[in-house]
Amino acid sequence: MIKLQVKIILWIFIILARFSCGAQIENINSNDLLAFEDFLRSQHLKHALVVRLPQAARQVASYRRLLANYTTQIFTPGKRVQFKELFYYEAPRTALLVDALESDAAKLWVYRAASEAGLFNNSQAWFMLACGQANRTDESIIVEHLAAYNIGIDADITVAIRDMQCGNWPLYDVYRLGQQTALLVEAKGQWSVAAGYRVWPKFSSQSWRRRRSNLANITLIGSTALIEKPPGYDDFSYLSNDRQLLQLDPMQRKTFQLFRLMQTMFNMSLDVRFTDNWGQLQPNGSWSGVMGQVTSGEAHFALCPMRFVLDRQRYVQFSPVLHTQLIHFLFRHPRRSNIRNIFFEPLSTEVWWCVLALVVCCILLLPLHVNLERRQHTLQRQLPAVGGHLTFVWFTILETYLQQGPALELFRLPSTRVLISASCLFSFMLMQFYGAFIVGSLLSDTPRSILTLQALYDSGLAIGMENISYNFALFGNTSNQLVRNVYTQRICRPHPSNILDIRRGAERIRDGGFAFHSAIDRMYRLLVELLDEHQFCELQEIMFNPPYVAGSVLPKSSPWREHLAHAVLHLGEMGLMQYNDRLWTLPKPDCSLSKATQVEVDLEHFAPALFALLLAMLASAVVFLVELLLGWISARRKQQANRVK
């Protein structure tokens, strides 16, 4: 077990060949180290390990002296290098020196292990030295020795060919585009003792990703999920169709358009593998669906956006954001959010109580006046039409307040007239205000009041959500008390169930009084067919959680990560991603045109008046029956009394 403090460890493998290009071994080897040091400096590397073979001529101390400025570890393997133990997650970028490219020992102990561990990638900068041969090209030598290994597009391998005659060692860049393609060797620069390590401008000014962006029409495999595909369509033509059926599988089909752009960007072609789900973790630890195809290496990346969730993070890596999904509550906003009866609405509760108090005052005051009136009337021997009892007072006050005006000749006293006049004036003002308000409020579009989750919770609307996994994660796992209340008290109802599929949810939104939590763009596409324009304009969104972002996924340490990340960011920067989003979003009707044109009093608002009338009629009928009964009983009594007599 080798425990390494990786931050301060520089690994250099120096494999000293038993044979060498010339006689002056010591001299050549010091040139090797000079070249390697120049390489380290130009690549800004600080870390290495010396793998010293038993037959190496040089002493450990001389490596240390020559590489004094770098953190050096010397390691003498007796068997294959255990790369898994040497490099682990987030180990710093490390330079490796192989100073005999063609030696059997290097192949046996280093290349094979590195190839199996996948270490010919950008985490390691390999520097290899080989001897030139007069009758062969340098490229053919490199290809002969390295072609067998797992070298990918992100390999960082620099091969220097020792040249005894002129002392200018040519440098080559070695990589491969895809797994089945030929090893590519490109001239990279030159090294000499005098001039040091020089690379051609292309190599100094461009990153490897940019240099290797023409993929020469290799085929990469992408995986995507089609969930709502109608029967009778071919998988690929359905996926790539951006004109029809935009409401089905919009996310996957929208992002596929971006991958089509990437094909031309990188000069590659895509082989699409289809599945029917996004991916679930199976009990045996493997994944199904798109995640399964990506983690098992069947596909190079996902062509559909995958939500960033923690349990996927351990198995795959994500690209930058490819798609943003807005998930809101959507409902038809009721014309009036108040449950309070519209007929009571013009005045607040306190004002109603004040009005009632005033009326009661008048009712109490009037009998005093009436008593006085009666005394006067009797004095003047006029018709005693004025009754002293409460009924008379009650109806008189009612007449006053409902602007009927009691008969004038009944009241002669100025004091009574003042009371009646004041009451009339008061009732006039109240009625004017009340009537105007009712008419005005019915005509005007009241401002929307259900704009927050709290208001939605307090309103009388039924609340539901789409039967989809992220909704359960969102509502089931929140620390917010309000969201939890909404979920447990309003959404989780057995009958009728408020957890519906999106189509059923759209129908209930159409029927009104129902708020539904789902992906907003898909919902709008369904609703635009179900609702007329006026109803569509009543739609109100409530958002309480940030939108979900999703990116493509790749296997861990995939060589295509940089290409995909670059492509996604580039498309975003160029505005093509936003343009594609626009093509896939539903153009909404202009609601400012239909505003305030259709005004009507619907039954919902008029019902209380009808209901009150009905109640009154019932009450009067009951009273009528009671009166009949009483009349009949008293008639019977009278008869019995007569008979007794």
Ligand X SMILES: *[C@@H]1O[C@H](CO)[C@@H](O)[C@H](O)[C@H]1NC(C)=O
How near is the Cβ of 218 to ligand X at its closest, in Å?
A: 8
Q: Is 214 in the site for ligand X (CB under 6 A)?
A: yes
What Rg value do the Cα atoms of the chain yield, rounded? 44
How near is the Cβ of 281 to ligand X at its closest, in Å?
A: 10
- Please give the C-alpha separations between residue 80 and each of 18, 145, 476, 488, 603, in angstroms, as whole numbers: 18, 18, 51, 60, 86
- Residue 132 or 346 with smaller CB distance to ligand X: 132
- Residue 406 or 559 with smaller CB distance to ligand X: 559
Q: Are β-strands 269-275 and 499-500 bridged in parallel, bridged antiparallel, or unpaired? A: unpaired
- Give the range of 38-46, 278-286, 397-405, 515-523 binding ligand X by CB under 6 A: 278-286
How near is the Cβ of 429 to ligand X at its closest, in Å?
A: 56
CB atoms within 10 A of CB 436: 11
Q: Which two tokens stand for residue 532?
A: 């007329």
- Residue 206 or 219 with smaller CB distance to ligand X: 219
Q: Is 182 in the site for ligand X (CB under 6 A)?
A: no
Q: How far apart are CA 32 and CA 388, in angstroms?
A: 127
Q: How far apart are CA 374 and CA 370, in angstroms?
A: 6
**Binding flags for ligand X, 485-524, as an x/- string (CB under 6 A):** ------------x-x-------------------------
- Give the range of 4-12, 177-185, 214-222, 567-575 binding ligand X by CB under 6 A: 214-222
Q: Is 157 in the site for ligand X (CB under 6 A)?
A: no
- Residue 38 or 99 with smaller CB distance to ligand X: 38
Cβ–Cβ < 8 Å for 462, 496: no
Q: Is 348 in the site for ligand X (CB under 6 A)?
A: no
Q: Is 472 in the site for ligand X (CB under 6 A)?
A: yes
How near is the Cβ of 350 to ligand X at its closest, in Å?
A: 46
Residues that contact ligand X, how many (by CB under 6 A): 28
How near is the Cβ of 497 to ligand X at its closest, in Å?
A: 5
- Give the range of 8-16, 221-229, 431-439, 467-475 binding ligand X by CB under 6 A: 467-475
Helix (H) or strand (E) holding 460: none
* Sign for the pseudo-dihedral over CA of 271, 277, 278, 280: negative
Q: Is 23 in the site for ligand X (CB under 6 A)?
A: no
The per-residue DSSP string of 595-639 comes to TTT-----HHHHHHHHHHHHHHHHHHHHHHHHHHHHHHHHHHHHH
- Give the range of 97-105, 130-138, 424-432, 504-512 binding ligand X by CB under 6 A: 130-138
Alpha-carbon dihedral of residues 377, 381, 385, 391, nearest 10 degrees?
A: 50
Q: Which two tokens stand for residue 164?
A: 């005894």
For 352, residues 6+ apart whose C-beta sits below 8 A from its C-beta are 344
**Binding flags for ligand X, 240-269, as an x/- string (CB under 6 A):** ---------------------------x-x
Give the residue from 350, 340, 316 showing the smallest Cα distance to 564.
316
In this chain, which of 27, 179, 280, 282 binds ligand X, going by CB under 6 A?
282
At 525, give phi and psi (nearest 5°).
-65, -35
For 365, residues 6+ apart whose C-beta sits below 8 A from its C-beta are 419
> Contacts with ligand X in 57-86 (CB under 6 A)?
68-69
Which amino acid is residue 360, in one-letter code? V
- Give the range of 94-102, 209-217, 415-423, 507-515 binding ligand X by CB under 6 A: 209-217
- Give the range of 119-127, 223-231, 354-362, 544-552 binding ligand X by CB under 6 A: 119-127
Q: Which two tokens stand for residue 3?
A: 């425990």
Q: How far apart are CA 48 and CA 51, in angstroms?
A: 10
> Contacts with ligand X in 284-313 (CB under 6 A)?
284, 286
Q: Is 614 in the site for ligand X (CB under 6 A)?
A: no
How near is the Cβ of 180 to ligand X at its closest, in Å?
A: 12
**Contacting residues toward ligand X, per CB under 6 A:** 68-69, 117-119, 121-123, 133, 135-136, 214, 216-217, 219, 267, 269, 282, 284, 286, 467, 472-473, 476-477, 497, 499, 557
